[in-house]
Structure 1
Amino acid sequence: MVAAAALNSRTGRKVLAGALIGFTVVVAFLVTPLIAVPFAIAGSAAGGTVKQVDAAPGVSGEWGFPLAGGYSKGRGFGYNPVQGCGYCSTDHQGYDMAQGCGATIFAAGHGEVITAGSYQGYGNTVRIDHGGEIVTLYGHMQWDSLRVSVGELVTAGAPLGAEGNTGKSFGCHLHFEVRKSGTAVAPEPFMAGLGLPLK
């Protein structure tokens, strides 16, 4: 009876309209996180946001750096134990470099993509056959970030994917590896010999 009488007056209708608007705002405030959280979790499970940085890497002739601009050096080639990492090999077969999760990784030279996806303990990986029994490997890339596929021909500086933390990795970085006749060789002197010294 009181509610019906309140609806018959102008003031009662204003109070009711204000209450409905207030209720709608409160419900929207409470429900929005319930809708947004699953999307945030899905993005996180997929490796987070891929920040594709397409600045051109330094190129010298037919070869170039696998990252554009400055980077932090991690483990180098050879004996490099990692404190607190039971699965990390002490005989490191590559050269670790990092710009941050999602940084674009580039082909160091022209050749044919022979791996584009999960590869041994390297996680999401690209391998390029450059001919002359030289193969470069780019390991630990973010899932769903690859821009190349097996059989594709690439040139130095072609974007391959994004820096990540997949496989036997302990943080976002690029594991850059060079193999000659199937045997890993130190990337530092190899790249320096091409006029592209690594740190």
Structure 2
Amino acid sequence: MKILFLTCLTVILLMVHNSSQAQYDPGTKYWVVGGGLIGNFRNAFTSSQALAHEQNLNLHFKFGKFGDNKVSRGWLADYTLEWHESSSSSKYGSHSIGAGYFINKFQPLNKNIGLYAEASGIGRYLLTRSNNGYKSDGFHASIQANVGLRYHFKSKLFLDCSANIGSVNYQKSDSQPAKTENFYVALSPNIGSFKIAIGKTL
């Protein structure tokens, strides 16, 4: 009886070990869905000292597939809603809808936890409208560098945490009365770039 128990325990441990290692095998596919909500109140530096309220809601989806050397590639979709309201009756909403491509390089720390570096390129359509008639349409493109951590809490389910550490950006907007065009580089991480998601290996 003891031998049978030890044999079954060994088989179970091997299955768990192999399933977690298989998360990074070539041909393994996965999806990730997540987002974040950020909001704050602040005193706007205006003559009226208006109180401003800002909220930012982000949703994102990724679908990837592993190749050799624990490198995964795939497609992503992204949506962000930004809402600004102040006591001076100024209100505006901004929508950002994007799609892009990413490459991840993973470094497993143990059978459940892995770190990764990510490079991604994404293009976004921007739409802004306000209650006083202001409107703006635009386009934003960026190449981003991200770092993240993936924790497999079940054989096929995992949590994914990531943050942006730098980006190269181009933005063009067609607003009234003036058009704008900007190119800029961001190198410092910020709390707004931190994302939490849940994923599943297929």
Bigger proportion of residues as helix:
1
The verdict on a shared fold, with TM-score over 0.5 as the criterion, is: no
TM-score (ref. length: structure 1): 0.33
Which structure is richer in relative contact order (CA contacts within 8 A, separation 6 or more)? 1
TM-score (ref. length: structure 2): 0.33
Bigger proportion of residues as strand:
2
